[in-house]
Amino acid sequence: MQKRMEDIEIKYIYLQKTVDDLNVVVIEQQKEIRELKATLMLLGKKLQDISSMEPFDPDEKPPHY
């Protein structure tokens, strides 16, 4: 019985370590997701700004001609 209890305690310790390690990974991924969302929002805003500009005509002469 004592040996069995020790085995269970050892397995519990390893499981707790695994949970702690996974928690660190999840926290890092949440941070990265927040950063990626912010970048995506910024790129979306820039794309909207570019889309609202007048279209470029390659045949049009520059104003100094």
Alpha carbons 34 and 64: distance in angstroms, whole number: 46
Alpha carbons 17 and 50: distance in angstroms, whole number: 50
Task: Render pLDDT for 25-50 as a digit per residue (tens, 0 to 9).
Answer: 999 999 999 999 999 999 999 999 88
pTM: 0.66
Task: Render pLDDT for 15-29 as a digit per residue (tens, 0 to 9).
Answer: 999 999 999 999 999
Task: Give the angle subtended at the CA of 35 by the CAs of 29 and 39, to the nearest 5°.
Answer: 140
